[in-house]
Amino acid sequence: MIQNPVERGPAEQAPRLADFFDLVTLDVTDSTNRYARELAMDGAVEGTLVWARSQGAGRGRRGRDWASPPGNMYASLILRPDCAPATAAQISFVTALAIRDAVSEFLSGDHIAQLKWPNDVLVGSNKIAGILLESQLLKGSELDWLVVGTGVNIQSYPDNVERPATSLRALDSAVDVARFVESYAAHMLIWYGTWQHMGFAPVRRAWLEHAWGQGGPVEVRLGTEVFQGVFEDLDETGALVVGTAKETRLVSAGDVFPLTGEDG
């Protein structure tokens, strides 16, 4: 079930993007990531941005379904960074900052957008956006391309999910999707350039400034293993640093949930 469903209105004005971007606009597709992957394999240039008004088979991390009705942003960006595949994973944090900055442009009152490791954007304790990275290697270990998939709740949000969600509309923002795409692309270009020219350090610092749950108790779920500790830091690779009673652990993949009801 979707909260606050909206009907498609008149055609929106196309987003105005920097020259870096090559916009591909779709009315509906099964998945912008799948569409972007096919374009990338066919040689699409870095900066190709696939934007769909709705999706039929959106996916989140670990194969989870992502509700994709009209009125929200579904976009996938093709990047071809000159780096090792493990380093390219840092672009998840780059993207999270870009989405946070875009969401913050349209928040009113005391609402604050924060970042939940590894790739969610929250307002309060409610999820407003998620990120999914997919990549392909050339022969050996060289990165060929990276697809950065993003979903942002603008007009509606799902209510049948494990974690509570929200949307910009529910937070009294009237921004339309095309305008949000413009904002996201502008911030993404800034943060991607920062990462390319200055490395992960400034991205890490900025991410920690907006981290949700830092300094508080968390539960970490790693497949069949579950443990609790304190969210202490983010290391130089993007791994979460969690202190337990026995040791300090680095978490590079998994789900992390703050154990308090307070915003971190």
CA 83 → CA 52, 91, 133, 148, 252, distances in Å? 29, 11, 15, 15, 18
- Tell me, yes or no, whether 135 and 241 share the same domain: no
pLDDT surpasses 80 at 11: no
What is this structure's pTM?
0.89
pLDDT surpasses 60 at 10: no
Per-residue model confidence as pLDDT tens digits over 62-106 = 444 545 778 999 999 999 999 999 899 999 999 999 999 999 999
- Tell me, yes or no, whether 104 and 159 share the same domain: yes
- Tell me, yes or no, whether 17 and 145 share the same domain: yes
152 phi and psi angles, rounded to 5 deg: -125, 130
Question: What is the rounded CA–CA span in Å between residue 113 and residue 101?
Answer: 8
Mean pLDDT over each residue of the chain, to the nearest integer: 89
Q: What CATH number is given to the structural domain containing 85?
A: 3.30.930.10
- Tell me, yes or no, whether 183 and 68 share the same domain: yes
- Tell me, yes or no, whether 9 and 54 share the same domain: yes
In total, how many domains does the chain have? 2
Residue 263 domain-assigned (yes or no): no
3-class SS string, the chain: CEECCCCCCCCCCCCCCCCCCEEEEEEEECCHHHHHHHHHHCCCCCCEEEEEEEECCCECHHHCECCCCCCCEEEEEEECCCCCHHHHCCHHHHHHHHHHHHHHHCCCCCCCEEEECCCEEEECCEEEEEEEEEEEECCCCCEEEEEEEEEECCCCEECCCCCCECCCCCCCCCCCHHHHHHHHHHHHHHHHHHHHHHCHHHHHHHHHHCECCCCCEEEEEECCEEEEEEEEEECCCCCEEEECCCCEEEECCCEEEECCCCCC
Residue 264 domain-assigned (yes or no): no
Question: What is the rounded CA–CA span in Å between residue 52 and residue 211?
Answer: 29
Q: Do the Cβ atoms of 109 and 172 come closer than 8 Å?
A: yes
Task: Say what the pLDDT of residue 142 is.
Answer: 87
Per-residue model confidence as pLDDT tens digits over 157-209 = 988 777 799 999 999 998 999 999 999 999 999 999 999 999 999 999 999 99
Structure tokens given for 139: 């022969």
- Tell me, yes or no, whether 226 and 104 share the same domain: no
**Which is nearest to 113 in space by CA: 131, 121, 194?**
121
Structure tokens given for 255: 């789900």
pLDDT surpasses 80 at 112: yes
Task: Say what the pLDDT of residue 138 is.
Answer: 84
Residue 102 domain-assigned (yes or no): yes
Residue with tokens 């939940």: 116
**Residue 147 sits in which domain range?**
2-209
Task: Say what the pLDDT of residue 102 is.
Answer: 98
Structure tokens given for 94: 């780059």
Q: What CATH number is given to the structural domain containing 231?
A: 2.30.30
Task: Say what the pLDDT of residue 69 is.
Answer: 79
Question: What is the rounded CA–CA span in Å between residue 133 and residue 235?
Answer: 20
- Tell me, yes or no, whether 156 and 41 share the same domain: yes
Question: What is the rounded CA–CA span in Å between residue 214 and residue 101?
Answer: 19
Per-residue model confidence as pLDDT tens digits over 126-148 = 999 999 999 999 877 889 999 99
